[in-house]
Amino acid sequence: MAYKSVPQKGTIAGLIEDGYSQLEELGSECDEAANNFPNSSHPKAEAFSEAASTLQGVSLPDLPEVDGMDGEVCYSAMVNKDKRKGPSRSVRCGNACTMLTAAAEAIQDLIDGPLQERKDMLEEKYETANDRGHSDEAQAAQDALDEVEKQVDDLTELKDQLESDANDCEGVEFPGLYG
């Protein structure tokens, strides 16, 4: 089948939710296909079972409540040139992994951009208040800085999980219809 790359847009949270939803759906399809074989030791049944195991081994993580998770992300999805036909399992899996990877990249941009700027500003505010002996202002700045650092840690953990899950699922092999 012939495919073409089509630009898509979504939010960080939306890409994560949609990507995991598609992987879950593919895992269910593969599990059902494996169970439909009369002989579970058939090579295709084993391949479907292995694909199902990998795809069902990833799950939607908890999304931290951080400003910017609703930011727009652009990515490319593969679609069948013949609009009457849907994409193959392999292409659908690749598109889901692309969504997770695009979301991970956008999260890194969020960490390196707005959150780093906020962190720098709060560190400066803390130093200034501390130097002037304004302990209440310094404590407020430190509390806000601690919150930003927690957000960065939560987002870094999420980004790492997205990258790991995308890498695991990109390697899934789907048995062909013939052969």
Q: Give pLDDT tens digits for 54-87.
A: 999 999 999 998 988 898 999 999 998 888 888 9
Inform me whether the pLDDT recorded for 178 exceeds 60.
no
Q: How many residues does the chain have?
A: 179
pLDDT tens-digit series, residues 125-159: 999 998 998 999 999 999 999 999 999 999 999 99
**Which uninterrupted H or E stretch holds 115?**
none
Where in the chain are the domains?
3-170
pTM for the full model? 0.91
